[in-house]
A and B are shown apart, each in its own frame.
Chain A
Amino acid sequence: MIEVKNLTKKFGSLTAVNNLSFIVNRGEVLGFLGPNGAGKSTTMRMITCFLTPTSGTASVNGFDVLNNPVDVRKQFGYLPENAPVYPDMTVESFLKFIGEMRGFSGTELKKRVDDTIEKCFLKNVKHQTIDTLSKGYKQRVCFAQAILHDPPVLILDEPTDGLDPNQKHEVRQLIKKMGEEKCVILSTHILEEVDSVCSRAIIIAKGQIVADGTPAKLRAMSKLHGAVTLSIHRVAKDSVIPFLASLPDVYHAERIGEKNNANVYRVFPKENKNIAHHIASAVREKKWEVEEFNIEEGRLDEVFRNVTTK
Protein backbone atom coordinates (compact mmCIF):
# COMPACT_ATOMS: atom_id res chain seq x y z
CA MET A 1 0.00 0.00 0.00
CA ILE A 2 1.23 3.46 -0.87
CA GLU A 3 0.23 6.39 1.25
CA VAL A 4 1.13 9.90 0.13
CA LYS A 5 0.60 12.63 2.71
CA ASN A 6 0.83 16.36 1.88
CA LEU A 7 3.78 15.66 -0.37
CA THR A 8 5.45 18.84 -1.64
CA LYS A 9 8.55 19.36 -3.74
CA LYS A 10 10.04 22.71 -4.60
CA PHE A 11 12.88 23.27 -7.05
CA GLY A 12 14.00 26.78 -6.21
CA SER A 13 10.96 28.95 -6.73
CA LEU A 14 9.14 26.29 -8.75
CA THR A 15 6.66 24.12 -6.87
CA ALA A 16 6.73 20.89 -8.87
CA VAL A 17 4.50 18.93 -6.49
CA ASN A 18 2.09 20.83 -4.32
CA ASN A 19 0.60 19.25 -1.20
CA LEU A 20 -0.35 15.98 -2.83
CA SER A 21 -2.23 13.33 -0.82
CA PHE A 22 -3.62 10.00 -1.94
CA ILE A 23 -3.66 6.30 -1.04
CA VAL A 24 -3.22 3.34 -3.34
CA ASN A 25 -4.31 -0.04 -2.01
CA ARG A 26 -3.34 -3.57 -2.86
CA GLY A 27 -5.25 -4.75 -5.92
CA GLU A 28 -5.42 -1.27 -7.38
CA VAL A 29 -3.73 -0.07 -10.54
CA LEU A 30 -3.54 3.68 -10.31
CA GLY A 31 -3.08 5.65 -13.52
CA PHE A 32 -1.17 8.85 -12.96
CA LEU A 33 -2.10 11.39 -15.62
CA GLY A 34 -1.20 14.98 -16.23
CA PRO A 35 0.33 17.28 -18.81
CA ASN A 36 4.11 17.52 -19.31
CA GLY A 37 5.74 19.02 -16.26
CA ALA A 38 2.74 18.32 -14.02
CA GLY A 39 4.94 16.60 -11.44
CA LYS A 40 4.24 12.92 -12.10
CA SER A 41 7.86 11.80 -12.27
CA THR A 42 8.82 14.03 -9.35
CA THR A 43 6.12 12.41 -7.19
CA MET A 44 7.32 8.94 -8.13
CA ARG A 45 10.91 9.92 -7.37
CA MET A 46 9.87 10.97 -3.89
CA ILE A 47 7.96 7.73 -3.28
CA THR A 48 11.04 5.77 -4.40
CA CYS A 49 13.29 7.86 -2.10
CA PHE A 50 15.31 9.16 -5.02
CA LEU A 51 14.30 12.71 -4.14
CA THR A 52 13.63 14.01 -0.65
CA PRO A 53 10.32 15.86 -0.23
CA THR A 54 10.47 19.55 0.67
CA SER A 55 7.62 18.81 3.05
CA GLY A 56 5.11 16.06 3.66
CA THR A 57 5.93 12.40 3.37
CA ALA A 58 4.95 9.10 1.83
CA SER A 59 4.99 5.52 3.02
CA VAL A 60 5.12 2.21 1.22
CA ASN A 61 3.71 -0.85 3.05
CA GLY A 62 4.02 1.10 6.26
CA PHE A 63 7.68 2.13 5.78
CA ASP A 64 8.25 5.86 5.73
CA VAL A 65 10.38 7.35 2.95
CA LEU A 66 12.06 9.76 5.35
CA ASN A 67 12.85 7.30 8.14
CA ASN A 68 13.25 3.92 6.43
CA PRO A 69 14.37 4.52 2.86
CA VAL A 70 16.15 1.17 2.53
CA ASP A 71 13.10 -0.77 3.75
CA VAL A 72 10.88 1.26 1.42
CA ARG A 73 13.11 0.28 -1.50
CA LYS A 74 12.75 -3.40 -0.69
CA GLN A 75 9.00 -3.11 -1.24
CA PHE A 76 8.86 -1.91 -4.81
CA GLY A 77 10.08 -2.39 -8.32
CA TYR A 78 10.68 0.88 -10.13
CA LEU A 79 10.81 1.69 -13.80
CA PRO A 80 12.22 5.22 -14.07
CA GLU A 81 11.32 7.58 -16.89
CA ASN A 82 13.31 6.96 -20.10
CA ALA A 83 14.33 3.50 -18.87
CA PRO A 84 17.96 4.09 -17.86
CA VAL A 85 20.03 0.89 -17.98
CA TYR A 86 23.80 0.27 -17.84
CA PRO A 87 24.83 0.50 -21.49
CA ASP A 88 27.96 -1.63 -21.25
CA MET A 89 26.27 -4.73 -19.81
CA THR A 90 24.47 -7.54 -21.56
CA VAL A 91 20.77 -7.98 -20.83
CA GLU A 92 21.39 -11.15 -18.87
CA SER A 93 24.24 -9.82 -16.75
CA PHE A 94 22.28 -6.65 -15.98
CA LEU A 95 19.29 -8.65 -14.77
CA LYS A 96 21.64 -10.87 -12.75
CA PHE A 97 23.09 -7.81 -11.08
CA ILE A 98 19.62 -6.56 -10.21
CA GLY A 99 18.70 -10.03 -8.93
CA GLU A 100 21.75 -10.06 -6.64
CA MET A 101 20.87 -6.62 -5.37
CA ARG A 102 17.40 -7.96 -4.62
CA GLY A 103 18.94 -10.66 -2.46
CA PHE A 104 18.82 -13.70 -4.76
CA SER A 105 21.70 -16.06 -5.40
CA GLY A 106 22.48 -19.45 -6.91
CA THR A 107 19.76 -21.39 -8.68
CA GLU A 108 17.02 -19.08 -7.41
CA LEU A 109 18.78 -16.14 -9.05
CA LYS A 110 19.18 -17.99 -12.31
CA LYS A 111 15.55 -19.07 -12.29
CA ARG A 112 14.32 -15.52 -11.59
CA VAL A 113 16.45 -14.09 -14.39
CA ASP A 114 15.37 -16.75 -16.88
CA ASP A 115 11.68 -16.40 -15.98
CA THR A 116 11.82 -12.62 -16.30
CA ILE A 117 13.62 -12.82 -19.63
CA GLU A 118 10.86 -15.15 -20.82
CA LYS A 119 8.06 -12.96 -19.46
CA CYS A 120 9.41 -9.79 -21.07
CA PHE A 121 10.21 -11.39 -24.44
CA LEU A 122 13.94 -10.78 -24.17
CA LYS A 123 15.13 -14.28 -25.02
CA ASN A 124 16.62 -13.44 -28.39
CA VAL A 125 18.59 -10.46 -27.07
CA LYS A 126 19.74 -11.82 -23.72
CA HIS A 127 23.40 -11.92 -24.73
CA GLN A 128 23.30 -8.56 -26.49
CA THR A 129 24.93 -5.46 -25.04
CA ILE A 130 22.22 -3.07 -23.85
CA ASP A 131 23.89 -0.21 -25.71
CA THR A 132 23.04 -1.85 -29.03
CA LEU A 133 19.35 -2.50 -28.27
CA SER A 134 16.53 -0.53 -29.85
CA LYS A 135 14.54 1.86 -27.66
CA GLY A 136 11.63 -0.51 -27.17
CA TYR A 137 13.92 -3.33 -26.08
CA LYS A 138 15.70 -1.06 -23.60
CA GLN A 139 12.29 -0.17 -22.20
CA ARG A 140 11.50 -3.86 -21.83
CA VAL A 141 14.83 -4.56 -20.09
CA CYS A 142 14.09 -1.81 -17.62
CA PHE A 143 10.58 -3.16 -17.10
CA ALA A 144 12.07 -6.62 -16.53
CA GLN A 145 14.37 -5.14 -13.92
CA ALA A 146 11.36 -3.74 -12.06
CA ILE A 147 9.39 -6.99 -11.85
CA LEU A 148 12.26 -9.45 -11.39
CA HIS A 149 11.82 -9.84 -7.63
CA ASP A 150 8.01 -9.96 -7.80
CA PRO A 151 7.64 -6.95 -5.48
CA PRO A 152 4.36 -6.15 -3.71
CA VAL A 153 4.45 -2.59 -5.10
CA LEU A 154 5.20 -1.46 -8.65
CA ILE A 155 6.02 2.11 -9.62
CA LEU A 156 6.18 2.53 -13.38
CA ASP A 157 6.95 5.84 -15.08
CA GLU A 158 5.53 5.61 -18.61
CA PRO A 159 5.96 1.83 -18.88
CA THR A 160 4.77 1.51 -22.47
CA ASP A 161 6.71 4.46 -23.86
CA GLY A 162 8.39 3.44 -27.10
CA LEU A 163 6.84 -0.02 -27.36
CA ASP A 164 5.24 -1.29 -30.55
CA PRO A 165 1.47 -1.98 -30.49
CA ASN A 166 1.91 -5.70 -29.85
CA GLN A 167 4.30 -5.12 -26.98
CA LYS A 168 2.09 -2.39 -25.55
CA HIS A 169 -0.70 -4.94 -25.46
CA GLU A 170 1.49 -7.59 -23.81
CA VAL A 171 2.87 -5.23 -21.19
CA ARG A 172 -0.60 -3.93 -20.36
CA GLN A 173 -1.88 -7.49 -19.92
CA LEU A 174 1.07 -8.20 -17.66
CA ILE A 175 0.49 -5.10 -15.54
CA LYS A 176 -3.20 -5.80 -15.29
CA LYS A 177 -2.58 -9.35 -14.14
CA MET A 178 0.04 -8.26 -11.61
CA GLY A 179 -2.28 -5.51 -10.43
CA GLU A 180 -4.72 -8.08 -9.06
CA GLU A 181 -2.49 -8.82 -6.10
CA LYS A 182 -0.10 -5.87 -6.11
CA CYS A 183 -0.29 -2.17 -5.65
CA VAL A 184 0.64 -0.44 -8.89
CA ILE A 185 1.17 3.21 -9.85
CA LEU A 186 1.82 3.95 -13.48
CA SER A 187 2.07 7.23 -15.29
CA THR A 188 1.04 7.55 -18.89
CA HIS A 189 0.07 9.97 -21.60
CA ILE A 190 -2.00 7.35 -23.41
CA LEU A 191 -5.58 7.68 -22.27
CA GLU A 192 -6.68 4.36 -23.71
CA GLU A 193 -4.17 2.78 -21.32
CA VAL A 194 -6.27 4.05 -18.44
CA ASP A 195 -9.22 2.04 -19.74
CA SER A 196 -7.28 -1.07 -20.48
CA VAL A 197 -5.26 -1.38 -17.26
CA CYS A 198 -6.18 1.10 -14.58
CA SER A 199 -8.79 0.57 -11.92
CA ARG A 200 -8.45 4.19 -10.90
CA ALA A 201 -6.90 7.35 -12.26
CA ILE A 202 -5.59 10.57 -10.80
CA ILE A 203 -5.11 13.60 -13.00
CA ILE A 204 -2.63 16.15 -11.71
CA ALA A 205 -1.83 19.58 -13.06
CA LYS A 206 0.79 21.96 -11.69
CA GLY A 207 1.52 19.49 -8.91
CA GLN A 208 -2.05 19.27 -7.62
CA ILE A 209 -4.80 16.67 -7.97
CA VAL A 210 -7.54 17.94 -10.26
CA ALA A 211 -9.47 14.69 -10.69
CA ASP A 212 -9.50 11.32 -8.95
CA GLY A 213 -11.71 8.30 -9.59
CA THR A 214 -12.44 5.22 -11.64
CA PRO A 215 -12.18 5.68 -15.41
CA ALA A 216 -15.99 5.62 -15.59
CA LYS A 217 -16.28 8.28 -12.91
CA LEU A 218 -13.79 10.51 -14.67
CA ARG A 219 -15.67 10.06 -17.89
CA ALA A 220 -18.84 11.16 -16.18
CA MET A 221 -17.18 14.56 -15.68
CA SER A 222 -17.30 15.00 -19.43
CA LYS A 223 -19.81 17.49 -20.89
CA LEU A 224 -20.68 14.72 -23.26
CA HIS A 225 -21.60 12.28 -20.52
CA GLY A 226 -25.24 11.17 -20.86
CA ALA A 227 -25.74 12.93 -24.19
CA VAL A 228 -27.57 10.98 -26.86
CA THR A 229 -26.29 10.88 -30.40
CA LEU A 230 -28.74 9.68 -33.02
CA SER A 231 -29.08 9.80 -36.77
CA ILE A 232 -32.45 10.25 -38.44
CA HIS A 233 -33.30 9.69 -42.09
CA ARG A 234 -35.55 11.79 -44.32
CA VAL A 235 -36.75 14.39 -41.86
CA ALA A 236 -35.86 18.05 -42.20
CA LYS A 237 -33.50 19.16 -39.46
CA ASP A 238 -35.53 22.30 -38.85
CA SER A 239 -38.35 20.23 -37.46
CA VAL A 240 -36.21 17.71 -35.60
CA ILE A 241 -34.09 20.08 -33.53
CA PRO A 242 -36.91 22.05 -31.87
CA PHE A 243 -38.75 18.80 -31.21
CA LEU A 244 -35.76 17.14 -29.51
CA ALA A 245 -35.04 20.28 -27.55
CA SER A 246 -38.60 20.36 -26.23
CA LEU A 247 -38.43 16.89 -24.67
CA PRO A 248 -38.32 16.63 -20.86
CA ASP A 249 -34.92 17.13 -19.17
CA VAL A 250 -33.25 18.08 -22.42
CA TYR A 251 -30.85 20.98 -22.14
CA HIS A 252 -29.83 21.45 -25.74
CA ALA A 253 -30.00 19.70 -29.12
CA GLU A 254 -27.85 20.25 -32.20
CA ARG A 255 -27.01 18.75 -35.55
CA ILE A 256 -23.41 17.62 -35.56
CA GLY A 257 -23.06 16.27 -39.08
CA GLU A 258 -24.25 13.82 -41.66
CA LYS A 259 -23.66 10.12 -42.09
CA ASN A 260 -25.04 7.80 -44.82
CA ASN A 261 -27.46 10.50 -45.97
CA ALA A 262 -28.89 10.87 -42.51
CA ASN A 263 -28.59 13.89 -40.25
CA VAL A 264 -26.73 13.20 -37.03
CA TYR A 265 -27.97 14.99 -33.91
CA ARG A 266 -26.63 15.27 -30.41
CA VAL A 267 -28.95 15.92 -27.49
CA PHE A 268 -27.51 17.08 -24.15
CA PRO A 269 -29.36 16.43 -20.89
CA LYS A 270 -29.90 18.83 -18.03
CA GLU A 271 -27.45 18.11 -15.24
CA ASN A 272 -27.32 14.44 -14.25
CA LYS A 273 -30.60 13.60 -15.98
CA ASN A 274 -31.19 10.49 -17.98
CA ILE A 275 -32.83 11.43 -21.26
CA ALA A 276 -32.30 8.39 -23.42
CA HIS A 277 -35.65 6.76 -22.71
CA HIS A 278 -37.56 10.03 -23.36
CA ILE A 279 -35.87 10.42 -26.69
CA ALA A 280 -36.26 6.78 -27.67
CA SER A 281 -39.99 6.67 -27.03
CA ALA A 282 -40.63 10.10 -28.57
CA VAL A 283 -38.81 9.19 -31.75
CA ARG A 284 -40.60 5.84 -31.95
CA GLU A 285 -43.96 7.67 -31.63
CA LYS A 286 -43.01 9.96 -34.51
CA LYS A 287 -42.15 6.85 -36.58
CA TRP A 288 -38.92 8.47 -37.68
CA GLU A 289 -36.39 6.21 -39.28
CA VAL A 290 -33.50 6.08 -36.79
CA GLU A 291 -30.29 4.54 -37.96
CA GLU A 292 -28.00 4.98 -34.98
CA PHE A 293 -28.74 5.63 -31.36
CA ASN A 294 -25.91 6.06 -28.84
CA ILE A 295 -25.70 7.11 -25.24
CA GLU A 296 -22.35 8.87 -24.79
CA GLU A 297 -20.22 7.77 -21.85
CA GLY A 298 -18.06 10.82 -22.09
CA ARG A 299 -14.54 11.10 -23.33
CA LEU A 300 -11.40 11.01 -21.20
CA ASP A 301 -9.44 13.29 -23.53
CA GLU A 302 -12.10 15.96 -23.16
CA VAL A 303 -12.11 15.62 -19.37
CA PHE A 304 -8.33 15.69 -19.36
CA ARG A 305 -8.30 18.88 -21.40
CA ASN A 306 -10.96 20.51 -19.25
CA VAL A 307 -9.33 19.84 -15.91
CA THR A 308 -5.76 20.57 -16.96
CA THR A 309 -6.15 23.76 -18.96
CA LYS A 310 -8.00 25.85 -16.43
Chain B
Amino acid sequence: MFHYIKSIVKREIKGYFNSPVAYVFIVIFLILCGFFTFNVSNFYEARIADLRAFFVWHPWLFLFLIPSIAMRLWAEERRSGTIEILLTLPVTTGQAVIAKFIAAWIFVGIALALTFPLVITVFYLGNPDVGAIITGYLGSFFLAGAYLSIGSFTSALTRNQVIAFILAVVFCLFLVLAGWPPVTSALSKFASAGFINFVAALSFMPHFESMQRGVIDSRDIIYYLSVIAFMLFANTAVLNSRKSG
Protein backbone atom coordinates (compact mmCIF):
# COMPACT_ATOMS: atom_id res chain seq x y z
CA MET B 1 0.00 0.00 0.00
CA PHE B 2 2.80 2.43 0.91
CA HIS B 3 4.72 1.72 -2.23
CA TYR B 4 1.67 2.78 -4.28
CA ILE B 5 1.54 6.07 -2.40
CA LYS B 6 5.28 6.49 -2.81
CA SER B 7 5.11 5.89 -6.57
CA ILE B 8 2.31 8.42 -7.01
CA VAL B 9 4.12 10.99 -4.85
CA LYS B 10 7.26 10.51 -6.94
CA ARG B 11 5.33 10.87 -10.17
CA GLU B 12 3.57 14.00 -8.99
CA ILE B 13 6.72 15.73 -7.82
CA LYS B 14 8.44 14.90 -11.11
CA GLY B 15 5.33 16.30 -12.77
CA TYR B 16 5.74 19.63 -10.97
CA PHE B 17 9.33 20.00 -12.06
CA ASN B 18 8.65 18.81 -15.61
CA SER B 19 6.28 21.70 -16.15
CA PRO B 20 6.83 25.44 -15.80
CA VAL B 21 4.33 25.53 -12.91
CA ALA B 22 6.99 24.65 -10.36
CA TYR B 23 9.46 27.28 -11.45
CA VAL B 24 6.91 30.04 -11.88
CA PHE B 25 5.47 29.27 -8.46
CA ILE B 26 8.80 29.19 -6.66
CA VAL B 27 10.07 32.37 -8.30
CA ILE B 28 6.89 34.31 -7.61
CA PHE B 29 6.75 33.02 -4.05
CA LEU B 30 10.31 34.11 -3.37
CA ILE B 31 9.86 37.51 -5.01
CA LEU B 32 6.69 38.21 -3.04
CA CYS B 33 8.26 37.03 0.20
CA GLY B 34 11.17 39.35 -0.42
CA PHE B 35 8.97 42.26 -1.40
CA PHE B 36 6.71 42.07 1.65
CA THR B 37 9.51 41.37 4.08
CA PHE B 38 11.89 44.08 2.93
CA ASN B 39 9.79 46.75 1.25
CA VAL B 40 6.59 46.57 3.23
CA SER B 41 7.72 45.42 6.66
CA ASN B 42 11.03 47.26 6.44
CA PHE B 43 12.93 44.31 7.75
CA TYR B 44 16.34 46.04 7.56
CA GLU B 45 15.31 49.31 9.09
CA ALA B 46 13.67 47.53 12.00
CA ARG B 47 17.03 45.83 12.69
CA ILE B 48 15.37 43.16 14.74
CA ALA B 49 16.88 39.75 14.42
CA ASP B 50 13.76 37.67 13.99
CA LEU B 51 11.59 36.53 11.12
CA ARG B 52 8.18 37.82 12.24
CA ALA B 53 8.22 40.39 9.47
CA PHE B 54 8.54 37.48 7.06
CA PHE B 55 6.04 35.01 8.53
CA VAL B 56 3.30 37.53 9.17
CA TRP B 57 2.58 37.73 5.45
CA HIS B 58 2.26 34.02 4.87
CA PRO B 59 -1.48 33.63 5.53
CA TRP B 60 -2.09 36.27 2.85
CA LEU B 61 0.51 35.12 0.35
CA PHE B 62 -0.64 31.54 0.66
CA LEU B 63 -4.21 32.65 0.16
CA PHE B 64 -3.51 33.11 -3.56
CA LEU B 65 -0.43 31.01 -4.16
CA ILE B 66 -1.53 27.74 -2.59
CA PRO B 67 -4.88 27.52 -4.43
CA SER B 68 -2.96 28.11 -7.66
CA ILE B 69 -1.02 24.91 -6.99
CA ALA B 70 -3.96 22.98 -5.59
CA MET B 71 -6.42 23.85 -8.35
CA ARG B 72 -4.73 21.45 -10.76
CA LEU B 73 -4.70 18.47 -8.47
CA TRP B 74 -7.98 16.85 -9.49
CA ALA B 75 -9.48 19.28 -11.98
CA GLU B 76 -6.60 18.73 -14.38
CA GLU B 77 -6.71 14.99 -13.85
CA ARG B 78 -10.40 14.98 -14.77
CA ARG B 79 -10.09 17.37 -17.67
CA SER B 80 -7.35 15.36 -19.34
CA GLY B 81 -9.02 12.05 -18.52
CA THR B 82 -5.92 10.65 -16.79
CA ILE B 83 -8.06 10.14 -13.69
CA GLU B 84 -9.40 7.10 -15.52
CA ILE B 85 -5.89 5.63 -15.62
CA LEU B 86 -5.03 6.62 -12.05
CA LEU B 87 -8.22 5.36 -10.44
CA THR B 88 -8.23 2.05 -12.31
CA LEU B 89 -4.76 1.20 -11.02
CA PRO B 90 -4.83 -1.02 -7.92
CA VAL B 91 -5.18 1.88 -5.45
CA THR B 92 -8.11 3.15 -3.46
CA THR B 93 -9.38 6.66 -4.07
CA GLY B 94 -8.25 7.62 -0.57
CA GLN B 95 -4.69 6.49 -1.22
CA ALA B 96 -4.58 8.50 -4.45
CA VAL B 97 -5.94 11.59 -2.66
CA ILE B 98 -3.38 11.29 0.13
CA ALA B 99 -0.53 10.71 -2.31
CA LYS B 100 -1.36 13.71 -4.48
CA PHE B 101 -1.76 15.86 -1.37
CA ILE B 102 1.57 14.75 0.11
CA ALA B 103 3.35 15.51 -3.17
CA ALA B 104 1.88 19.01 -3.31
CA TRP B 105 2.78 19.57 0.34
CA ILE B 106 6.36 18.44 -0.22
CA PHE B 107 6.54 20.77 -3.18
CA VAL B 108 5.36 23.74 -1.09
CA GLY B 109 7.83 22.65 1.57
CA ILE B 110 10.61 22.90 -1.00
CA ALA B 111 9.51 26.42 -1.92
CA LEU B 112 9.44 27.35 1.76
CA ALA B 113 12.88 25.88 2.31
CA LEU B 114 14.24 28.05 -0.49
CA THR B 115 13.66 31.12 1.68
CA PHE B 116 16.71 30.03 3.74
CA PRO B 117 18.76 33.13 2.79
CA LEU B 118 16.48 35.08 5.13
CA VAL B 119 17.50 32.82 7.99
CA ILE B 120 21.15 33.47 7.16
CA THR B 121 20.41 37.20 7.13
CA VAL B 122 18.90 37.24 10.62
CA PHE B 123 21.85 35.34 11.96
CA TYR B 124 24.03 37.95 10.36
CA LEU B 125 21.97 40.77 11.91
CA GLY B 126 22.08 39.46 15.45
CA ASN B 127 21.18 36.64 17.78
CA PRO B 128 17.79 35.34 16.74
CA ASP B 129 15.62 32.94 18.72
CA VAL B 130 16.27 29.68 16.89
CA GLY B 131 13.22 28.04 18.42
CA ALA B 132 10.92 30.76 17.12
CA ILE B 133 12.35 30.40 13.63
CA ILE B 134 11.78 26.64 13.66
CA THR B 135 8.22 26.89 15.00
CA GLY B 136 7.58 29.76 12.59
CA TYR B 137 8.53 27.59 9.63
CA LEU B 138 6.60 24.68 11.06
CA GLY B 139 3.50 26.83 11.52
CA SER B 140 3.84 28.16 8.04
CA PHE B 141 4.21 24.65 6.65
CA PHE B 142 1.14 23.39 8.50
CA LEU B 143 -0.86 26.41 7.39
CA ALA B 144 0.16 25.66 3.79
CA GLY B 145 -0.95 22.07 4.29
CA ALA B 146 -4.35 23.17 5.52
CA TYR B 147 -4.78 25.52 2.55
CA LEU B 148 -3.65 22.76 0.21
CA SER B 149 -6.16 20.27 1.58
CA ILE B 150 -8.91 22.83 1.00
CA GLY B 151 -7.66 23.49 -2.52
CA SER B 152 -7.45 19.78 -3.24
CA PHE B 153 -11.05 19.39 -2.12
CA THR B 154 -12.38 22.27 -4.26
CA SER B 155 -10.34 20.95 -7.18
CA ALA B 156 -12.26 17.69 -6.98
CA LEU B 157 -15.56 19.54 -7.21
CA THR B 158 -15.09 20.76 -10.77
CA ARG B 159 -13.07 20.13 -13.88
CA ASN B 160 -12.69 23.89 -14.31
CA GLN B 161 -9.49 25.07 -12.67
CA VAL B 162 -10.58 28.70 -12.45
CA ILE B 163 -13.64 27.75 -10.45
CA ALA B 164 -11.55 25.46 -8.27
CA PHE B 165 -9.15 28.34 -7.62
CA ILE B 166 -11.85 30.85 -6.69
CA LEU B 167 -13.65 28.40 -4.41
CA ALA B 168 -10.41 27.61 -2.63
CA VAL B 169 -9.53 31.30 -2.14
CA VAL B 170 -12.95 32.09 -0.74
CA PHE B 171 -12.94 29.04 1.52
CA CYS B 172 -9.46 29.81 2.87
CA LEU B 173 -10.24 33.51 3.26
CA PHE B 174 -13.28 32.62 5.30
CA LEU B 175 -11.21 30.45 7.63
CA VAL B 176 -8.57 33.17 7.95
CA LEU B 177 -11.17 35.75 8.87
CA ALA B 178 -13.55 33.50 10.80
CA GLY B 179 -12.61 34.90 14.21
CA TRP B 180 -12.43 38.52 13.05
CA PRO B 181 -15.11 40.78 14.66
CA PRO B 182 -16.65 42.08 11.39
CA VAL B 183 -17.21 38.47 10.30
CA THR B 184 -18.60 37.30 13.63
CA SER B 185 -20.93 40.29 13.85
CA ALA B 186 -22.16 39.67 10.31
CA LEU B 187 -22.85 36.06 11.23
CA SER B 188 -24.57 37.01 14.48
CA LYS B 189 -27.49 38.42 12.48
CA PHE B 190 -28.66 34.95 11.51
CA ALA B 191 -26.69 32.40 13.54
CA SER B 192 -26.73 31.35 17.15
CA ALA B 193 -23.91 32.34 19.48
CA GLY B 194 -22.82 28.73 19.80
CA PHE B 195 -22.44 28.41 16.05
CA ILE B 196 -20.45 31.64 15.86
CA ASN B 197 -18.10 30.47 18.55
CA PHE B 198 -17.69 27.22 16.70
CA VAL B 199 -16.86 29.01 13.43
CA ALA B 200 -14.50 31.40 15.19
CA ALA B 201 -12.72 28.45 16.75
CA LEU B 202 -12.12 27.04 13.28
CA SER B 203 -10.11 30.08 12.25
CA PHE B 204 -6.52 29.58 11.18
CA MET B 205 -5.20 32.76 12.72
CA PRO B 206 -4.97 31.98 16.46
CA HIS B 207 -3.14 28.73 15.66
CA PHE B 208 -0.85 30.43 13.22
CA GLU B 209 -0.02 33.30 15.54
CA SER B 210 0.78 31.18 18.54
CA MET B 211 3.30 29.22 16.51
CA GLN B 212 4.90 32.44 15.28
CA ARG B 213 5.54 33.42 18.89
CA GLY B 214 7.66 30.32 19.24
CA VAL B 215 5.06 28.35 21.15
CA ILE B 216 4.49 24.85 19.94
CA ASP B 217 1.26 23.54 21.30
CA SER B 218 0.09 20.06 20.39
CA ARG B 219 -3.43 21.49 20.11
CA ASP B 220 -2.31 23.65 17.18
CA ILE B 221 -0.74 20.68 15.41
CA ILE B 222 -3.83 18.60 16.08
CA TYR B 223 -5.97 21.43 14.74
CA TYR B 224 -4.07 21.57 11.45
CA LEU B 225 -3.97 17.80 11.08
CA SER B 226 -7.71 17.57 11.70
CA VAL B 227 -8.42 20.22 9.07
CA ILE B 228 -6.24 18.33 6.60
CA ALA B 229 -7.74 14.95 7.46
CA PHE B 230 -11.27 16.30 7.22
CA MET B 231 -10.69 18.00 3.87
CA LEU B 232 -8.97 14.96 2.38
CA PHE B 233 -11.79 12.78 3.60
CA ALA B 234 -14.31 15.12 1.93
CA ASN B 235 -12.12 15.14 -1.17
CA THR B 236 -12.24 11.32 -1.33
CA ALA B 237 -15.99 11.33 -0.76
CA VAL B 238 -16.50 13.79 -3.62
CA LEU B 239 -14.45 11.65 -6.00
CA ASN B 240 -16.23 8.48 -4.93
CA SER B 241 -19.64 10.07 -5.29
CA ARG B 242 -18.76 10.96 -8.87
CA LYS B 243 -18.37 7.27 -9.62
CA SER B 244 -22.01 6.70 -8.94
CA GLY B 245 -23.00 10.01 -10.63
Contacts and interface: CB of A to CB of B under 8 A. Distances in A.
Are A and B part of the same complex?
yes
A71 B91 CA distance: 9
B4 A51 contact: no
Interface stretch (A93-101, A213-221, A251-259, A264-272): A93-101
Interface string B216-245: 000000000000000000000000000111
5 contacts: A45-B84, A50-B243, A73-B90, A84-B84, A100-B7
Contacts of B8: 101
Interface in A57-90: 69-71, 73-74, 78, 80, 82, 84-89
B88 A93 contact: no
Contact of A93 (B3, B14, B87): B14
A50 B84 contact: yes
B80 A84 contact: yes
A52 interface: yes
B88 A84 contact: no
Interface in A30-57: 45, 48-52, 54
Report the 9 A-B pairs with minimum CB-CB distance, sorted nearest first: A84-B81, A100-B7, A52-B244, A80-B84, A73-B90, A88-B18, A52-B243, A48-B88, A101-B89
B243 A87 contact: no
Most chain B CB inside 10 Å of its own CB: which residue of A52, A78, A86, A142: A86
Contacts of A97: 7, 10-11
Contacts of A74: 90
Interface residues of B, number: 25
B74 to A, nearest CB: 14
A86 B244 contact: no
Nearest to B19: A88
B91 A89 contact: no
Contacts of B243: 49-52
Given A52-B243, A54-B244, A84-B80, A101 B88 contact: no
A11 B245 contact: yes
Interface string B19-45: 100000000000000000000000000
Contacts of B7: 97, 100-101
A129 B15 CA distance: 11
A98 B11 CA distance: 10
A139 interface: no
A73 B4 CA distance: 13
Given A50-B88, A74-B90, A100-B3, A82 B244 contact: no
Contacts of B91: 70, 73, 101
A101 B3 CA distance: 8
Interface of B: 3-4, 7-8, 10-11, 14-15, 18-19, 80-85, 87-92, 243-245
A85 B82 contact: yes
Contacts of A73: 88-91
Interface of A: 11, 45, 48-52, 54, 69-71, 73-74, 78, 80, 82, 84-89, 93, 97-98, 100-103, 105, 129, 142, 145
Given A80-B84, A84-B82, A145-B85, A89 B4 contact: no
Nearest to A157: B84
Contacts of B3: 100, 103, 105
A216 B9 CA distance: 50
A80 B18 contact: no
Contacts of B82: 84-86
Given A73-B90, A101-B90, A80 B244 contact: no
Contacts of A82: 81
Given A85-B82, A89-B14, A89-B15, A51 B88 contact: no
Given A54-B244, A89-B18, A80 B88 contact: yes
Contacts of A89: 11, 14-15, 18
Most chain B CB inside 10 Å of its own CB: which residue of A70, A87, A89, A101: A101
A133 B90 CA distance: 27
Nearest to A70: B90
Most chain A CB inside 10 Å of its own CB: which residue of B4, B80, B85: B85
B75 to A, nearest CB: 14
A85 B77 CA distance: 10
Contacts of B84: 45, 50, 78, 80, 84
A88 B89 contact: no
A48 B89 CA distance: 9
Contacts of A98: 85, 89
Given A78-B85, A84-B84, A101-B89, 15 more contacts: A49-B243, A50-B87, A50-B88, A70-B91, A73-B88, A80-B81, A85-B85, A86-B85, A89-B15, A89-B18, A98-B85, A102-B89, A102-B90, A103-B3, A145-B85
